[in-house]
Amino acid sequence: MPFAQPDVGDAEAEAVGEAIRSGWLTTGRLTAQFEQEFAATVGATHAVAVTSATAALHLALEAAGIGPGDEVLVPTWTFTASAEVVRYVGAEPVLVDVEPDTLALDLERAVGRVTDRTRAVIPVHFAGLPMDPVALSGFARDHGLQVVEDAAHAFPAGTGDALVGGGDSTATAFSFYATKTMTTGEGGMLTTHDDAIAARARVMRLHGIDRDVLDRYTRVGASWQYDVVAPGFKYNLTDMAAAMGRVQLGRAHDMRARREAISRRYTEAFADLPLQLPARAPDGVSHAWHLYSVRLLDAPLDRDGLVDVLGRAGIATSVHFIPLHLLSYWRERSGLRAEDFPVATDSFARVVSLPISSALTDDQVERVISTVRGALTGAGA
């Protein structure tokens, strides 16, 4: 049983096939349609399709003017991309510990990390549970910070009728990697209400050229002419990926509902086990359930032991995350100590992510439950 089985089928295959047969493979009309549909879904003014959430984060920071001499607050409980993009623009990531329940950025601890060089914060909606948008906006406003949300886990998720990606942040980055709640294989999206941020991101995603590729190759006349206004990047999404994305987008809420149903079954089945279960979404908040991560308490075996039992049963797992302060580059570069991040350090030793995918069958879900229960109780489900 794979850890994160993609939920794709004939509709996605047919859409990609149609894109191929159209004769236009790179960024074009399908990408533009995908952008419009995604922006409308989350309630953003603009959506810019790119090759990854990493690319979206990078473009957002660059467009926001973050650069050398600046500091950006980043939770230590995240994938390295959330911090490495800060280095891409020459700024300095400042790591912050996380909340013990949600494993999201601890805003109270973050206050103590703000300096006169702090320009932005990158909150991570871990596992698909949105951070409190009111608390986040208040923190940013109080300290004069721009907010670039890492929503790689958080589609579709939100508070009330407002989805992550449509709020008042500077920009939000989504991931469509193969393991995510919706996928284009590889891909991502930047959303924003800021016209200037969107315009800059569109230029910089393709070498800093001031005209998009569809315009240059389809306009009659001097279509070859263009200008380079900055040394940009190669982050544009293909129409083939966008074709898959449009189908996945149409299925996104149904796929989220299936993930939520699996999470409820897991929570019910594991309630009496020595596990710290994932934080529940407050009333009125929708959880994307990209991950179902548990933390062992006073259990008869440790995290690695549980991973081994599941592996021998043919069930793949993962660990989200190795905190950044424990990774060589970040630890050695900034002289970080494990004891300075007590929540993340303790949680890392105990955490394991169980399979959760809208493609999982009920039988597969019950197999995970039976194996976990057997490992932690010595009995079946």
Active site residues: 180
Contact 223, 217 (CB under 8 A): yes
- Cis peptide leading into 321, omega within 30 of 0? yes
Contact 72, 211 (CB under 8 A): no
Other Cβ atoms less than 10 A from the Cβ of 381: the count is: 13
Report residue 368: phi and psi, to 5°: -60, -45
Q: In the chain, which residue ranges form alpha helices assigned H by DSSP?
A: 10-21, 29-42, 53-63, 81-88, 107-111, 133-143, 195-204, 213-218, 239-270, 303-312, 328-334, 342-348, 362-377
Inter-CA distances, 321 with 125, 161, 233, 345, Å = 13, 30, 28, 10
Which residues, in sequence order, are CB contacts of 58 under 8 Å at separation 6+?
85, 88, 89, 233, 235
Judging by DSSP bridges, how do beta strands 146-150 and 118-121 pair with one another?
parallel
Q: Which two tokens stand for residue 268?
A: 């019910």
